Amino acid sequence: MNRRSRCLLALPVALLAGFCLWQAVRPAWAQSLVADLSSHLIAITTGFTGTDVVLFGAVDGDGDVAVVVQGPEGQVTVRRKDRVAAIWMNVEDVTFAGVPAYYNVAVTAPLEGVVPPTVLQRHEIGLDYVRLLPEKAKLAPEKLAEFRAALIRNKQRAGLYTTEVGEVSFLGQRLFRTRIFFPANVATGTYTASVFLIRDGDVVSAQTTPLLVSKIGFSANVFEFAQRNSVFYAILGIMLAVTSGWLAGIVFRKS
């Protein structure tokens, strides 16, 4: 129900945005790209099972559109197992900094071969170009590539990085839209949705929109309570357990 109403809302908003843009940019050519999200807040409630956000926008002419959504950055340690005396155990690790917890990319048309890698690198368009900074400076390139690929593979398995490039579809000549899925295990924090207009192998216009993922309501209260008043939280947890155990003992005593 939520999703449908959001889509219903998104389309007129998109049309309106497109129209306003058209009016605004025609004389000045000030802004060749405008985009927005159907929602700037993803609320993780008790019933949260993942959600779609629609990104829509308009361009002033020809060109390809690429959309990159990435999540809060942090450190991630990648560990490699090896056989040590018949047992597989972690033997080597590389820690990466600035790793986005979530990464999703969608394009109107494949960019490989059309756009030079340096451009894709600069704007982090595509999983091959995500900026992951190893903490140890001295690392053989093959090893680094291996650990980098492993990080991306593990993130993909968790559903947090795209496995394939998504599709941005044009509605007519000017309007475009794409759908971005956020799974249930998405991390809380500030995300950015970046939209790039690409013409003749270069980015000619870009826009970045923030998106907030936040726990709301009961689950937020529980989380906050556990972090802030951990002593009371611990005591409450134990009391809950003792009470239910004691109640069970009383209730089932007769039978």
Partner 1 sequence: MQIYLPIAELSVNALLILMLGGGVGFLSGLFGVGGGFLMTPLLIFIGVPPAVAVGTQANQLVGASVSGVLAHWRRNNVDVKLGGVMLVGGALGTGLGVWLFGYLQKLGHIDLVISLSYVLFLGTVSTLMLTESLRAIVKGRGAPVRSKLHHHTWLHGLPFKMRFPRSRLYISALLPALIGFVGGVLVAIMGIGGGFLLVPAMIYILGMPTALVAGTSLFQIIFTTGLAAFLQAVGNQTVDIVLALLLLVGGVIGAQFGTRAGAKLRGEQARALLALMVLAVAVKLAVDLVVRPEDIYSITLPVMP
Q: Give the interface with partner 1 as residue ranges (CB under 8 A).
A: 44-50, 74-83, 86-90, 93, 95, 146-147, 150-151, 153-155, 157, 184-185, 187, 215, 218-220, 222-223, 226-227, 230-231, 233-238, 240-246, 248-250, 252-253, 255
Could you tell me the smallest distance in angstroms from the CB atom of residue 251 to partner 1? 9
Residue placing its CB nearer to partner 1 in the complex, 150 or 204: 150
Task: Measure the CA–CA gap between 191 and 212, rounded to whole angstroms.
Answer: 6
State the nearest-atom distance from the C-beta of 190 to partner 1, in Å.
17
Pick 8 or 234: Cβ nearer partner 1:
234
Tell me how far apart the alpha carbons of residues 238 and 243 are, in angstroms, rounded to a whole number: 8
CB atoms within 10 A of CB 204: 14
- Nearest distance from residue 151's CB to partner 1, in Å? 6
User: Using CA atoms, how far apart are residues 108 and 125, in angstroms rounded to an integer?
Assistant: 13
Cβ proximity to partner 1, 5 vs 255, nearer residue: 255
- Choice between 190 and 243, CB closer to partner 1: 243
Give the dihedral sign, CA 91/94/99/105.
negative
- Residue with Cβ nearer partner 1 (109 or 158): 158
Report in angstroms how near the CB of residue 239 gets to partner 1 at its nearest: 9
Nearest partner of 16 among 60, 58, 64, judged by Cα: 58
CA distance 53 to 186: 13
Segment (H or E) for 128 = none
